[in-house]
Each structure stands twice: as C-alpha cells, then as structure tokens.
C-alpha cells in the first residue's frame, strides 16, 4: 500500500474510475438535504426535553398547557386539527391561507380527550354554580375552559332521568350558558366562556356559505350570499327573528349577509332567508302598507288568486303591511289587486274589534284611552281623517299638517266589558292598528315586590305608690231621723269602702265597727265602718318586648295593605248605682250627708265599653323602575293596649306610626323610623297645710312615682 504522503505523486485515475467517482459524489450530495431537511417526524419519536423555564412542546411543536393524550396511544390533535401537531394553516392536503383557492380560515379545533360517542353517562345537577358546572363538563368531555371574574355567576339545575351521551350532555351545558346570556368561543387550545353581549366583536367560529351549521346553542358566524334579493331588505326581515344579542351585518358590494347567532337560531334564519331568496332573477322585496283590512287575511286571499305563481307573500301584523317577493310583473298585478281589496268602508258603518286584556283592567285602560280618542266622534273629524288618508304617499306615511287631526282617520269609540275584561272598539282598521299599539304597551304584566317589615318595641314601666287613708263617722239624731255624718282625711275610699281582701301589696290598718243601716247604701252588701285607718304601699312593674315581622306581596303602583291585631273593649263611662243614695236619703228623712256621699262616689255600676282595633297596620305602594330600585310610599302603624290605670281600670292605647317615602334596592334593609324615650312621673295627693308638715305630713298625703322607658324601631 502506497503511503499517503506520496498520493500527489500517483498517476491520474483512469477515465472509467473518474466517471464512477463523480456519479457517487453527486448522489451523496443529492441525498444529504433530503435526509436533514425532509426527514418526516416519526410517531414514536420521544418528546424533546424542554429548557429550564420553558413549557413542554407537544408533538406538533405548539407550546401551551399540558398535552392530553387520548386512550389507545393516538397522538392528540394540535391546534391546526391535523395529527402530529401541525401548526394552524398547515393542514395536510389543503391550500395555505392567502394562497390561490384558499377559503376563509376556521377557528382551530380544541383538543380534548376523546370519549366514545355512544358512551352514556349520568348527568344530573342540582343548583350548582358555574365553576362546578364547568368542572364537571370538562372532566366529562376533556375540553379546557377559561372564564374570568367578569362572567356572571349563575345557579343551574339539570334533571336527566336516564343516562345521556356525552355529546348530549355538552349540548345541555351550552343551553344553560345561552339561557343565562353566555356562550363559548375558541381561544387557542381552550374554550373561553364570555357573555353574549357584544358577541359580534368576539372571535366566534366563521362558517362559509357552503359549510353546515351545527344545531347547538353556541354562537357562530355564518356567511350567506343572496342571489335574487337585496341583502339590506332581507336583513330588515331577519332582524325580527334573531336572538337578543345576535348581530346581522350587510356587505352590499357582494350582497352578503354576515350573521352572528346561536347555531340553532341561524338554521332557523337560513330557512327564512332561503324562502325570501327563492325567486327568479329580477325578483325584489316590496313592502306595501295595508290601510283598511287585516294583512293576514289579505295574504290568504291573494295566495288563492296567485296559486302557481313564484311570488311569495308574508304578513307583518305589527305594522299591518305585506312583504312581497316578486318580479315587476307579479308586483304590478298584486298591487292592482290590493288597491281593489284595500278600500275604505262606507262612511258611518265602522268596524267592531274586541280585544281581551291580559293584565290591565279594562275600566282603567278605557279612561286612559278616552283622553286620546276623546273628541274624535264627530262627523267633521271623520271627513278630515278621510282627507288625510287620501293624501298619503305610496309608502303609507301620513302627510303632516299639524295638530291632532292626523291621529285618527275616522270615528273612534272605546267601551269596556268588565265581565270579560275586554275592550270593544269601533273604528277603521288603521285607527284600530294605532290603538292596538298603545294598548299592547299598556297591557303589560306588572312586576311585584315582596316586603318584610320588622317592628321591635321594648317597654319598661315601673311605678311606686304609698300613703295613708282614713275616715271617721257617727250616727246623729239631728233632725230626728238618725242621720249618719262622715268625716275623713286622705284616700278615704280605701278605709271606708275597701274590703281588706281586695287591698294590693303591703297594707295594714284598723277598721271600726259597721254603722247600722249602711249595708244597703252601696248596693253591694258591704257596710260602712264607723272609722278606719289604712297604711298601704304598692309597686307595679311591667316589661314588654314585642317583635313583629309582617310580610306582604305588593304589585307595582298598586296600594297594598295588611292588618294584624285584635278588637278590644274600652271603658269610657260609669253611671247609675251610688247616685241613688240621694233618693234614699230623702225617703228615710235622713240628712243630706249620704246623698252627698252618693254624689261624691259618682254613680253606680253601669258601664259603657265601645271596642277599639289594636295591632299592626302596614300600607305600602311600590314603584319599581328598570334598575330594580323600588320607591315605596310607606305608612306603618303599631298599637297595643297598655296597663289599666286609675280606680276604674281604664285601659290606655299605645300607638306608634310612621309615614314616609324611601328608595331601596333589591334585598336591601332600611330603617324608616325609631324612638327612644325615657320619662319619670312623680305625683302627690295631700291635705293642704297638713300634708306639708315634716315627718307627720306623711299621714296626710299619698305619693306616686312612675318610670317609663320605650325603645321602638320600625
């Protein structure tokens, strides 16, 4: 073998060997780029180890959350939807976005852990929050969700008596979100839960004109290119059928509709659109106001006449007009028929309409409408209305001439049938249509408010009473009749008439012998003693704590009242009885002492006791606005019977009232009034001069002391 250092001294290669070497070199250079750059990714290739602080990279190279590998070893789909994690826009076999023949790119598919479509699961939820519901559906379907703090919190209940498929459970989840004003939109590898307000500005999935629309309560954007009618006209019609937060945009250059709505409702809108766009070339949409007949009745008549024609008719009852899809020839034919049918009725004949009310009272609504139709029943007004109608333009818009002469065309009369709670109107059809718009806005269900009132009343009443009572008496023969003469001091009724068994608290004293002939003077069989002395001391204490919580359900703008209490008797007068002592004295010939005693004691035992209502009375008139604030006109009264007072036991009535107007929010508590009162009453009954003597004056006076404390909260 020749050493290497002598290679440059070797002879040149033969031509045959040089050609073979060149071919080998070219082949090596050709295969090298394919091996380095074109090497396909193997499915069993392990994941590359990520750098520190860098999230792991999935098979498709997309960075993000933890990749979910379905059961069975199948490689999960990347954001682009192709196996092996291809990037968005790089789906195998499809055109790149922006390239020749490219279509509108759809939102990337969300990867999830696949579950067999036929697998059935139990799906019952009872009053769960949104986070719990999302967690349950995420575990069930393998989908990933994101929702922020601005998403409203809800409570959801799902009842499924039998097992449902996973797909059906997910559709139920979307329906719960849609019912509460929310939906899901793709966001990378996640589904983002957002509110449907302003959904047109969100990244909803876009479906082309030929792509099917899913039957689901999830918001998507669908494109529809019209062929025969103008997109702006169809958009006006579809606006009446779209959901609350949906959006319909018109692109005039290509006569394109861009509809953002739930998948289920878009399918409904597309059926309407296909019917409107089913005419031949040259068809247009015409809107013709109807003045004297019902548009729905006219549609039925015209369809019978136009049987076999391509023209389509739709009645708009709200404006009493016809929406016609037809060519010029069919439109002219329809217009001629409408002019012959839509004619005014003869003067004075009128049309009777009966409208049952659902929520309002017909008598109240009749008074409201009388202010509108009042003065419209004269013949001159009917003539003016006819002139107004004849001067209308082709589109049905009235020609303004000022004043209220253009409100109605002819005679208008409104009556109320209270038995059926219905309004009976006599007017032309167009006048009735104007009245119907007003009536429909007034005949709305009224909202209600549930009110709970709390009344707390704490009363403390203490009284002390002490004193000395005495009297004296003797029989005298002055005048020859054995008259009885009495003399006495302070509080004589206790020592003279009181029965020891009836004395209260601490009492002791001396009672003399009974006087003859006095047992029948009082009518009670009790004799009057010759003298008596009673020392008594009495303390009364009364505490009360009242807590009442009346509840009432009131309707908006209607007075509501609740009364809870009792009807008690009250003593107001005493008559008869001891007043007859004067007559007895005259009959027996005795002196006027007993007659004076009868007058002093005021008359006997005849009572008059009218009755009085006591308890809780609550009157409230709520006014609810659109912001869920309630303005309440309140009148609250709380009354009860107090402790008996005086010798006759009269019962006082304690009464507390509050009347005010407050503005509160839902679930808010407000204090409308309160009272904290503390009082002390000192009283003294005494004999003049003698009652003021130090120490000994106690024998000639009676003292009372009363303390009252009241805490009231309404």
Of these ranges, 78-82, 286-290, 494-498, 524-528, the one predicted with the greatest mean pLDDT is 286-290
pTM (predicted TM-score): 0.37
| pLDDT at 108 (0 to 100) | 46
State the pLDDT at residue 486.
56
Return the pLDDT at 43.
Answer: 38
Question: Is the four-CA dihedral 484, 490, 495, 501 of positive or negative sign?
Answer: positive
Model confidence pLDDT, tens digit, residues 469-520? 666 666 665 555 555 555 555 665 555 555 454 455 555 566 667 666 666 5
More confident residue, 279 or 74: 279
Shortest CA distance to 160 belongs to which of 134, 124, 213, 125? 124
Residue 29: predicted pLDDT = 39
Q: Alpha-carbon distance 515 to 532, whole Å?
A: 12
SS (H, E, C) 50-81: CCCCCCCECCCCCECCCCCCCCCCCCCECCCC
Lowest mean pLDDT among 167-171, 212-216, 294-298: 294-298
Residue given tokens 């006591």 in the structure block: 614
Q: Where are the domains of the chain?
A: 120-276, 284-341, 351-398+405-445, 455-572+609-713
Q: What DSSP element (H or E) covers 547?
A: strand 531-548
Determine the Cα angle at 17 with ends 11 and 23, to 5°. 130
SS (H, E, C) 409-435: CCCCEEEEECCCCEEEEEECHHHHHHH
CA distances from 523 to 155, 355, 481, 605, 607 (A): 78, 76, 21, 10, 16
pLDDT over 70 at 228, yes or no: yes
- CB within 8 A of 591, min separation 6: which ones? 476, 478, 479, 481, 483, 485, 585
Task: List b or e across 278-308, with b for residues whose CB sees 16 or more CB atoms inside 10 angstroms.
Answer: ebeeebebbbbbbbbbebeebbeebeeebee
Q: Which residue has the higher pLDDT, 2 or 247?
A: 247
Residue 413 to residue 411: CA distance in whole angstroms = 7
Q: Which residue has the higher pLDDT, 668 or 505?
A: 668
Distance from C-alpha of 219 to C-alpha of 200, rounded to nearest angstrom: 9
Q: What is the mean pLDDT of the chain?
A: 69
The answer, yes or no, to whether residue 19 has pLDDT greater than 60, is no
Task: Let me know: does 563 contact 616? Beta carbons within 8 Å.
Answer: yes
> What pLDDT was estimated at residue 2?
41
- For residue 209, the surrounding DSSP H or E stretch is none
Please tell us whether the domain made up of 120-276 is placed in CATH 2.40.110.10.
no
Q: Helices (DSSP H) in 260-408: which residue ranges?
A: 263-276, 295-305, 328-341, 362-373, 379-390
**Listed residue (645, 708, 700) closest to 682, CA to CA:** 708
CB 597 within 8 A of CB 640: no
Predicted pLDDT of residue 481: 54
Which residues are CB-neighbours of 583 under 8 A, at least 6 positions away?
A: 595
Which residue do the tokens 């479906």 mark? 207
CATH code matching the domain that covers 351-398+405-445, chosen among 2.40.50.140, 3.30.1370.120, 1.10.10.10, 3.40.640.10: 3.30.1370.120
Q: What is the mean pLDDT of residues 369-383?
A: 54
pLDDT given for residue 42 in this prediction: 37
Both structure tokens of 481: 């009749």
- Here the tokens at position 436 are 């119907």
Predicted pLDDT of residue 506: 53
| Residue 406: pLDDT band with limits 50, 70, 90 | low
Structure tokens given for 351: 């049309």
Residue 247's beta-bridge partner residues? 260
Mean pLDDT, residues 133-160: 84
Q: How confident is the model at residue 423 (pLDDT cuts 50, 70, 90)?
A: very high
Secondary structure class of 326 (helix, strand, coil): strand
Question: Over the Cα atoms of the chain, what is R_g?
Answer: 50
pLDDT over 70, % of the chain: 58
Q: Which of 254, 257, 313 is nearest to 285 (CA)?
A: 313
What integer is the mean pLDDT of 428-435? 80
Strands 606-608 and 247-251: unpaired
SS (H, E, C) 102-146: CCCCCCCCCCCCCCCCCCEECCCEEEEEHHHHHHHHHHHHCCCEE
pLDDT in the model for residue 315: 86
pLDDT at residue number 317? 78
Start-to-end CA span in the chain (Å): 120
Q: Which residues pair with 482 in a beta bridge?
A: none
For residues 410 and 387, give the distance between their C-alpha atoms in angstroms, rounded to a whole number.
10
Section 291-305 average pLDDT: 82
Q: How many angstroms separate the most distant Cα atoms in the chain? A: 192
Between CA 21 and CA 18 the distance in angstroms is 5
Q: How far apart are CA 130 and CA 151, in angstroms?
A: 9
State the DSSP code for 645: B
Whether the Cβ atoms of residue 89 and residue 96 lie closer than 8 Å to each other: yes
pLDDT tens for each residue of 673-702: 776 777 777 777 777 777 777 877 766 777
Region 209-221 average pLDDT: 87
Q: Is the pLDDT of residue 161 over 80?
A: yes
Helix (H) or strand (E) holding 226: none
Residue 544 sits at φ, ψ, to 5 deg, of -140, 140
Is 56's pLDDT higher than 70? no
Q: pLDDT of 614-639, one tens digit each?
A: 888 889 999 998 888 899 998 888 88
What per-residue confidence (pLDDT) applies to 607?
Answer: 56
Residue 167, φ and ψ in degrees, nearest 5:
-65, -40
Burial of residue 673 (number of CB atoms within 10 Å: 0-12, 13-18, 19+): middle
Domains 120-276 and 351-398+405-445 share a fold: no
pLDDT value at residue 333: 84
How far is the CA of 665 from the CAs of 154, 187, 214, 445, 454, in angstroms?
20, 38, 42, 21, 17
Beta strands in 625-673 (DSSP E): 629-641, 653-665
| Contact by Cβ (8 Å): 151, 193 | yes
pLDDT of residue 217: 86
* Confidence (pLDDT) at 227: 84
Predicted confidence (pLDDT) at residue 90 exceeds the cutoff of 60: no
Q: Is the pLDDT of residue 430 over 60?
A: yes
Would you tell me which CATH number, out of the four given (1.10.150.120, 3.40.640.10, 3.30.1370.120, 3.10.20.30), belongs to the domain 284-341?
3.30.1370.120
3-state DSSP call for residue 609? coil
Q: Higher confidence at residue 189 or residue 388?
A: 189
E strands present in 188-255: 190-195, 206-207, 219-225, 247-251
What are the DSSP E strand ranges found in 477-605? 483-488, 506-511, 531-548, 551-555, 560-569, 573-575
| In the block, residue with structure tokens 């709380």 | 638
Question: Smallest Cα–Cα separation from 451: which of 582, 560, 598?
Answer: 560
Q: Are 457 and 545 in contact (CB under 8 A)?
A: yes
Residues of the chain above pLDDT 90, percent: 5
> Of 266, 225, 264, 20, nearest to 104 (Cα)?
225
H or E segment to which residue 438 belongs: helix 429-442
Which 3 state secondary structure label does DSSP give 149? coil
Q: Which strands form 190-195's sheet, in the order they lie side by side?
A: 145-146, 190-195, 182-187
* Residue pair 248/238 in contact by the 8 Å Cβ criterion: yes
337/290 Cα distance (integer angstroms): 12
**Minimum mean pLDDT range among 102-111, 643-652, 657-666:** 102-111
- State the pLDDT at residue 258: 92
């Amino acid at each position: 073998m020749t050493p290497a250092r002598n290679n440059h001294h070797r002879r040149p290669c033969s031509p045959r060997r040089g050609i073979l070497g060149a071919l080998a070199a070219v082949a090596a250079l050709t295969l090298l780029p394919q091996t380095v750059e074109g090497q396909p990714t193997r499915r069993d290739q392990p994941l590359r180890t990520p750098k520190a602080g860098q999230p792991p990279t999935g098979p498709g190279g997309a960075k993000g959350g933890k990749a979910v590998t379905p059961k069975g070893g199948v490689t999960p789909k990347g954001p682009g939807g192709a196996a092996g994690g291809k990037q968005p826009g790089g789906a195998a076999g499809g055109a790149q976005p922006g390239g020749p023949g490219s279509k509108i790119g759809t939102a990337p598919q969300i990867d999830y852990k696949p579950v067999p479509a036929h697998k059935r699961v139990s799906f019952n939820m009872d009053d769960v929050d949104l986070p719990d519901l999302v967690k349950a559906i995420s575990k069930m379907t393998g989908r990933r969700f994101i929702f922020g703090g601005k998403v409203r919190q809800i409570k959801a209940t799902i009842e499924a008596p039998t097992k449902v498929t996973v797909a059906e459970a997910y559709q139920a989840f979307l329906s719960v979100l849609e019912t509460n004003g929310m939906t899901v939109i793709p966001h990378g590898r996640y589904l983002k839960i957002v509110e449907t307000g302003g959904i047109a500005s969100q990244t909803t999935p876009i479906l082309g004109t030929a792509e099917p629309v899913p039957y689901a309560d999830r918001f998507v954007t669908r494109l529809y290119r019209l062929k025969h009618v103008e997109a702006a006209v169809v958009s006006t019609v579809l606006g009446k059928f779209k959901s609350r937060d949906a959006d319909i945009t018109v692109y005039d250059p290509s006569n394109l509709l861009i509809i953002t709505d739930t998948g289920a409702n878009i399918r409904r809108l597309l059926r309407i659109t296909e019917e409107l766009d089913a005419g031949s070339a040259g068809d247009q949409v015409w809107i013709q106001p109807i003045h004297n007949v019902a548009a729905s009745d006219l549609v039925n008549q015209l369809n019978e006449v136009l049987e076999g024609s391509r023209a389509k008719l739709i009645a708009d009852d709200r404006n009493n007009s016809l929406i016609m899809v037809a060519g010029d020839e069919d439109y002219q034919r329809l217009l001629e028929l409408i002019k012959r049918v839509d004619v005014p009725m003869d003067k004075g004949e009128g049309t009777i309409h009966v409208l049952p009310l659902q929520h309002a009272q017909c008598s109240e609504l009749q008074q409201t409408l009388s202010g509108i139709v009042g003065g419209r029943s004269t013949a001159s007004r009917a003539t003016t209305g006819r002139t107004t109608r004849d001067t209308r333009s082709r589109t049905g818009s009235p020609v303004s001439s000022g004043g209220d002469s253009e409100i109605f065309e002819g005679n208008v009369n409104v009556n109320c049938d209270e038995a059926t709670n219905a309004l009976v109107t006599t007017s032309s059809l167009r006048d009735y249509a104007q009245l119907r718009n007003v009536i429909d806005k007034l005949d709305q269900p009224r909202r209600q408010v549930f009110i709970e009132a709390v009344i707390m009343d704490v009363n403390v009443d203490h009284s002390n009473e002490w004193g000395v009572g005495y009297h004296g008496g003797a029989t005298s023969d002055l005048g020859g009749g054995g008259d009885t003469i009495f003399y006495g001091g302070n509080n004589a009724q206790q020592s003279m008439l009181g029965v020891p068994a009836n004395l209260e608290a601490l009492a002791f004293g001396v009672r003399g012998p009974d006087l003859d002939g006095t047992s029948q003077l009082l009518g009670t069989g009790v004799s009057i003693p010759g003298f008596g002395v009673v020392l008594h001391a009495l303390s009364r204490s009364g505490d009360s704590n009242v807590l009442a919580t009346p509840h009432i359900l009131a309707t908006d703008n209607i007075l509501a009242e609740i009364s809870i209490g009792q009807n008690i008797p009250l003593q107001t007068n005493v008559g008869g009885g001891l007043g007859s002592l004067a007559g007895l004295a005259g009959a027996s010939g005795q002196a006027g002492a007993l007659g004076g005693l009868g007058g002093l004691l005021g008359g006997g035992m005849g009572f008059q006791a009218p009755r009085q209502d006591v308890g809780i009375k609550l009157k409230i008139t709520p006014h609810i606005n659109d912001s869920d604030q309630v303005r309440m006109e309140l009148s609250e009264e709380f009354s009860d019977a107090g402790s008996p007072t005086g010798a006759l036991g009269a019962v006082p009535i304690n009464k507390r009232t509050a009347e005010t107007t407050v503005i509160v929010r839902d679930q808010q508590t407000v204090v409308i009034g309160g009272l904290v009162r503390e009082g002390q009453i000192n009283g003294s009954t005494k004999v003049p001069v003698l009652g003021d003597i130090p120490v000994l004056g106690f024998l000639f006076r009676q003292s009372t002391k009363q303390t009252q404390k009241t805490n009231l909260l309404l």
